[in-house]
Amino acid sequence: MASSMNIESTLEEGTTNQTKLSTSSHDDEPKKSINWPLLILNLCFIVVGVMGAPLLSRLYYLHGGNRKWVSTLTQSAGFPLILIPLIFFYFTKPHSADRQYFFMEPKLFVLSAIFGVLIGFDNFLYTLGLSYLPVSTSSLLYATQLAFIAVFARIIVKQKFTPYSINSVVLMTLGSIILGLRANGDRPPGVSNKEYLVGFFLTVISAALIGFIFPCIELCYARARTLNYIVVLQFQLNVALFASIFSLVGMAVNKDFQAIKREANEYGLGRHMYVVVLVCGAVAWQLAFIGGLGLIYCVGSLFNGILTSLLLPMTEVAAVIAYHEKFNGEKGMSLALCLWGFTSYFYGEYQNSRKVAKTTQVGSVGA
């Protein structure tokens, strides 16, 4: 019991600081303390999810899967995983007044439901785009979410911009434009030039929408009356639940429930592997989702976008190795621009941290 209480204390550490986050400006706000164990845990989740989920989604399509709403559902259907830590922490809480603060406030519940529907729609856009694009191209395009997160974070949560972060956004945008200049040569078999371009634009729109949603979620966290990681998990659970409901409605309208059995029987890797691919994909997507919203809680939406994009080269290499996708000159140039943008951002953060450290040191000496 002592051990579980220690874990719970770690998860709830910094609740007061998180609740009192300024919603008016990041410029005048001192840096909040970071819960490092929680940050590292979410880093692990997002690394596994962001790298594994697109590969598994592509595997579904490569061997005969073609139900877009089924693939969309896998991106949120792993939400029951979140129940495991929630149930654990609920029953390890002492039977006292503390339990009244366990559940999130009604306002967060409503907002999480709205974001769930939006993310369900975003998942569908991403699924359509991925069905027409190689994993490597899709990953590069989706990395443009960093640019959209940066813009919306500035507008919504007053995220501070530096020359380095602006440079990063510009470079990544150029990288995605370069990919669109060549529609031939890297299309999956059976995909027309028109479908390739449709996939290109759908993926960019999906990146823009998620770039808007993440800063909005950060603002919700900042304005919550009481916020700890247990509340964040409930928020994530509700978002994924409503995203899944959105997908289930789409499946019903598209009559996918009647087609699943036939698709499983005709799947290239066999009926059992059909189930394995979908289940593993759902787990991978859920890990990416938990890690992403967890990073927003620990650090912020911009950092989440940066880290997601930073995993891009690993996903690129994995896609080329696993599926023998082409890595042409345009992709190489786009990747180089993205990496240049990442380097610019992190160098800017390094310079900023040094400046803050010097200011703190001077203030201490003066005191």
What's the pLDDT score for residue 305?
80
204 within some domain = yes
Residues of the chain with pLDDT under 70: 1-33, 93-101, 135-136, 139-140, 173, 176-177, 179-187, 313, 316, 360-367
Name the token pair of 207. 């990146």
**Which spans in the chain are helix H?**
2-12, 15-19, 36-62, 68-74, 80-92, 106-132, 135-142, 145-157, 163-180, 193-223, 229-253, 256-266, 271-298, 301-310, 312-323, 329-366
What's the pLDDT score for residue 195?
86
2 within some domain = no
25 within some domain = no
Interatomic CA distance for residues 119 and 139, integer angstroms:
18
Alpha-carbon radius of gyration of the chain? 21
Query: Around 237, how many Cα atoms within 13 Å sit in the side-chain half-sphere?
Result: 17
Interatomic CA distance for residues 363 and 49, integer angstroms:
43
What's the pLDDT score for residue 284?
95
What's the pLDDT score for residue 28?
46
Domain extent for 267 = 50-359
Give the residue from 98, 92, 99 showing the smallest Cα distance to 1: 92
Give the residue from 151, 141, 117 showing the smallest Cα distance to 201: 141
The pLDDT tens digits for 260-318 are 999 999 999 999 999 999 999 999 999 999 999 999 898 888 788 878 777 776 776 77
13 within some domain = no
Task: Tell me if 236 sits within 8 A of 82, measured CB to CB.
Answer: yes
35 within some domain = no
Q: How many domains is the chain built from? A: 1
Instruction: Using a cut of 0.95, tell me whether the model's pTM lies above it.
Output: no
69 within some domain = yes
What's the pLDDT score for residue 118?
97
CA 42 to chain centroid, in Å, comes to 11
39 within some domain = no
Task: Tell me if 169 sits within 8 A of 89, measured CB to CB.
Answer: no
What's the pLDDT score for residue 206?
92
43 within some domain = no
58-61: Cβ within 8 A, 24+ apart: 58/130, 58/134, 58/135, 58/319, 58/323, 59/277, 60/277, 60/278, 60/281, 61/130, 61/131, 61/188
What's the pLDDT score for residue 290?
92
